[in-house]
Structure formats: structure tokens, C-alpha cells
Amino acid sequence: MVVELFLDLLSQPCRALFIFAKKNNIPFVFKHVELLKGHHHSEEFGKVNVLKKVPALKDGAFTLAESIAILLYLSRKFNTPDHWYPSDLQKRAQVDEYLSWQHATIREKGCKIFITKVLVPLAGQPFSPETLEEAVEELNSALKQFEEKFLQDKPFIVGNEISLADLVAIVELMQPIGVGCDIFEDRPKLSEWRNRVEEAVGKELFQEAHEIILNIKELSNLQIDPQLKEHLAPVLRKMMK
């Protein structure tokens, strides 16, 4: 039975999984769950992930949510090269450390920028420049910690080779890029790290994974499913308060 990955490449964690699976030649079926069409709210998808979020995995009868859990599961099941999740205790701990920290920092703030700039207007809500400014400031703060604590002067987060930490980080940082916030500008260390990560992943694969998010502005007839719009309205209002 081939593993099924339920993905929408608009989503950062989906891109991490897509890149990881392809890079490691892990056979999988790409099950497209179109977020803007509200597919994640379908009854069918609810059977795969009751939390109604992407990414999700289905491996026979076994279903799994949360990209980090899925990345680790795949790395174990398919015995991927050691550098992704090093067997050395301390290096492994450093990957865990980043994966834990990033939830409420890089991921949260990067998401907020995307939501404020794209989702809120799409859902017909008023755009708030103050909220955007705040989100950018918060991301800047997180990026400072990223550089000072996690990257420092190393080529990758855990030393000399790319790991799950770098992969999870880069896909999140590409989200603000896609919506016109060039967070790499004036950050040479971060830019260089990005180039190294792209090389390590393979430029073609990296571009393929990021095609949708990098062309989102061009999708001027971007439409959101009306039921989803309705569902999102109170959620977004609360977020933007």
C-alpha cells in the first residue's frame, strides 16, 4: 500500500512534506486538498484528519496529522539519510529544539502576515495595516532569535548538513516572500542560508514546491469558497482584533 499525503502546496508544512518525500524518493500518492475551495472541511477528508487540517497522511488504516509527526514517521519508515534527523543525541536534540520553538514564533508570525495580506481581504474582511505592521515586527523579532540562537555562524541549523529543522524553517519563511514581504532583504546571513538550503534540496524541487505561493499575487481571480468565507469570518475577525 502506498502512502497517501493530503496536501495543498499553499500551506507551508505541506511543502516541507512534499520536498522531503520527493527528495528521498519516498513513493506517495499526492492527494490534493484545495484549501481555498474548502476541501479540508469535507466529510471525506474529516475521516483522514478529524482536525480538518493539512497536511495529513494515510498509510493503510493508519492516519496521522501534524507535519512534524509525519516527517518523523516517514524518516523512520523509509530510513532516510541520517542528516535529516541525526542519530547523534545532541544533534538530534538541536533539531527537536528548533522544531519545538518554531511553532509559536516563526510559524505563527509568518502565518499572520499571510493571513492579514491575503486571507483577510479574500474573505471580504477589512485589511488592517496596523495588524500587518505588528505581524512584521513580531516576525522580525523571531528572525533575530533565529539568527542568533539557531543559525549563528553555521551553514545549517545543526552544523554542516541540512536537517528537518532547516526544511521546516525555509518553507515558513517563503510564505511572507510569496505575499511581498522580502524578509531576506538586508539579512545576508539568512539569504546565504536560504541559498544553501535550496542547493541541498535541489533548486528544481524547491521551485516546484513553491510555485503556487510564489505566484499567488498573479492569481488575481483567486476565489474563496463562499461557505469557507462564512466559516472564516468570525475566526479572522478575532485574529485581527
Partner 1 sequence: CVCADLAAAAVCCVSDPVLVPALHSAEILHLSGSCCSPIGHHHSEEFGKVNVLKKVPALKDGAFTLAESTAILLYLSRKYNTPDHWYPSDIQKRARVDEYLSWHHTNIRTNAPKTLWIKVLIPLFTGQKLPPEKLQEVMDELAISLKQFEEKFLQDKPFIVGSEISLADLVAIVELMQPVGADCNIFEGWPKLVAWRSQVEEAVRKELFQGAHERILNAQDLRKVQIDPQMKKEMKPLLLKMLK
**100 lies in the binding site for partner 1 (CB under 8 A):** yes
- The region, left, alpha or beta by phi > 0 then psi within -120 to 50, assigned to residue 216 is alpha
Interface positions, 28-57, toward partner 1 (CB under 8 A): 50-51
The span of 65-73, 121-129, 187-195, 218-226 binding partner 1 (CB under 8 A) equals: 65-73
Interface positions, 67-86, toward partner 1 (CB under 8 A): 67-70, 72-73, 76-77
For partner 1, the closer CB: 56 or 216:
56
Smallest separation (angstroms) from partner 1 to the CB of 213: 21
What is residue 124's three-state secondary structure?
coil
Q: Please confirm whether the linkage preceding 55 is cis (ω < 30° from 0).
A: yes
Smallest separation (angstroms) from partner 1 to the CB of 88: 10
Cβ neighbours of residue 33 closer than 8 Å, sequence gap 6 or more: 6, 7, 8, 39, 40, 45, 54, 56
Cα–Cα dist 115/132, whole Å: 9
Question: Applying CB under 8 A, which residues contact partner 1?
Answer: 50-51, 62, 64-70, 72-73, 76-77, 89-90, 92-94, 96-97, 99-101, 103-104, 108, 145, 148-149, 241
